[in-house]
């Protein structure tokens, strides 16, 4: 390889095809391996980078400016870290920016974005042409890559490319177990309200959330409907879930290949379907519910990542702008007769929601809590609450 390190470069992104992007390293010093995807959201970089659905991925922001809101402990989406920002990043491995992160200028900030990335072990790269990188992903699919940061600018580019080339990728990879909680716990924190913050809620309906990598704001949105929530590990059996006698069950979002996670989760989901309990799936939970009902999932070339995706609710005719973060999709042609397609992407026509005819069961591909993003789909939590009330 003839590529040389440019003067002043302290960060690089090495793609498996040999492409090298060089710029300024930010955040943690070191390297990280993963799949590179782009996110089109203009706000919410902290929520995005702490979303467990981004495990084993390197995230390129198409919006050029980040950092001005700083960071705080309340906006961390990853469970398990609590307020400890030094917890291992069971979320994005690295981040790529057009401009260097700016200094914080927000009253809620308690740390700069760069310092926060250092403490969380997130490797960053700034000063690169993110438009060119986005075009590579758009035309060729999400590449395998290594992102590296060395203040002295010492990089073995051949070794980094070889490492990226040798990675097997997300297909066949179960990431729900490492993203999930290790033991059950209760949740009673609602959505953020001005000026109090996150109020405690009084649950009236018992809901079990199976944690495949759940986001805090999904739990908050669910709690705000009056749900008394218990979160259980990804490997929890249907018998253990039903022994809690819940009014409903939620299959959460999460990372990795749904078919791989489905090897142990699908048989349990099928038992939950047969129980007659109201059931709601979100993102990975949507995909695994579809698998449990007899459909297939497939890997997408680019995936959907952003807070500005148009989705049509076929049950109402309404078009919603939603938040999405997924690299796999349900094959709409594989849906069985008893399953109705309820939502569809207006970007590419892929499936974004299903419901089981005659049963209180539905799921969506997008993230209805919208953190970050618009709240067009927040009503889905009320729809789930209505199903529990009706039952």
Measured distance CA(379)–CA(185) in Å, rounded: 25
Place of tokens 């070191």: 30
In 74-129, alpha helices (H): 113-120
Q: Using an 8 Å Cβ cutoff, are 46 and 27 in contact?
A: no
Residue 98's nearest CA partner among 126, 117, 122, 123 is: 126
Order of strands across the sheet that contains 205-210: 185-187, 227-232, 205-210, 248-251, 279-282, 361-364, 351-356, 339-345, 297-313, 318-330
Largest alpha-carbon pair distance within the chain?
A: 67
Decide if 305 is catalytic. no
Q: The tokens of 321 are what?
A: 């702008």
Decide if 283 is catalytic. yes
Considering the candidates 283, 286, 309, 352, report the single residue annotated as catalytic.
283
Measured distance CA(7)–CA(49) in Å, rounded: 29
Considering the candidates 309, 326, 366, 367, report the single residue annotated as catalytic.
367
In 246-311, alpha helices (H): 258-275, 284-292
Strand ranges, E, within the chain: 11-15, 20-27, 30-39, 57-61, 94-96, 123-126, 144-149, 185-187, 205-210, 227-232, 248-251, 279-282, 297-313, 318-330, 339-345, 351-356, 361-364
Strand pairing category for 205-210 and 227-232? parallel
Residue 156's nearest CA partner among 166, 146, 142 is: 146
- R_g of the chain computed on alpha carbons: 21
Compute the CA torsion angle 355, 356, 360, 363 (nearest 10 deg): -30
Decide if 352 is catalytic. no
Q: Supply the residues annotated as catalytic.
A: 283, 367, 369
């Amino acid at each position: 390889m003839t590529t040389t390190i440019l003067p002043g470069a302290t960060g690089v992104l090495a793609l498996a095809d040999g492409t090298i992007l060089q710029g300024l390293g930010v955040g943690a010093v070191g390297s990280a391996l993963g799949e590179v995807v782009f996110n089109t959201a203009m706000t919410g970089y902290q929520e995005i980078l702490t979303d467990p659905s981004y495990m084993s991925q390197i995230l390129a922001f198409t919006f050029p400016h980040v950092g001005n809101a700083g960071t705080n402990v309340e906006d961390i989406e990853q469970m398990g870290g609590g307020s400890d920002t030094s917890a291992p990043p069971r979320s994005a491995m690295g981040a790529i920016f057009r401009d260097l992160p700016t200094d914080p200028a927000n009253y809620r900030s308690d740390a700069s974005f760069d310092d926060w990335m250092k403490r969380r072990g997130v490797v960053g790269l700034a000063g690169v042409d993110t438009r060119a990188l986005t075009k590579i992903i758009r035309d060729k699919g999400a590449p395998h890559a290594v992102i590296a940061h060395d203040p002295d600018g010492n990089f073995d580019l051949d070794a980094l490319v070889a490492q990226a080339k040798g990675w097997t990728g997300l297909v066949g990879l179960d990431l729900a177990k490492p993203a999930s909680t290790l033991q059950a716990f209760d949740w009673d924190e609602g959505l953020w309200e001005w000026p109090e913050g996150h109020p405690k809620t009084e649950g009236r309906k018992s809901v079990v959330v199976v944690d495949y990598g759940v986001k805090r704001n999904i739990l908050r949105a669910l709690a705000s409907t009056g749900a008394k929530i218990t979160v259980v590990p990804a490997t929890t059996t249907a018998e253990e879930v039903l022994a809690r006698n819940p009014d409903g069950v939620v299959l959460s979002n999460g990372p990795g290949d749904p078919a791989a996670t489905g090897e142990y989760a699908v048989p349990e989901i099928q038992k939950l379907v047969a129980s007659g309990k109201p059931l709601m799936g979100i993102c990975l939970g949507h995909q695994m519910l579809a698998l449990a009902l007899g459909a297939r999932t497939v890997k997408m070339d680019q995936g959907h990542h952003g807070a500005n995706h148009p989705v049509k609710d076929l049950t109402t005719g309404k078009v919603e702008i939603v938040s999405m973060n997924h690299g796999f999709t349900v094959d709409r042609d594989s849906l069985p007769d008893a399953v109705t397609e309820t939502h569809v992407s207006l970007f590419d026509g892929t499936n974004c929601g299903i419901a089981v005819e005659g049963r209180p069961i539905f799921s969506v591909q997008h993230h209805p809590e919208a953190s970050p993003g618009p709240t067009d789909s927040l009503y889905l939590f009320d729809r789930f609450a209505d199903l529990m009330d009706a039952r």
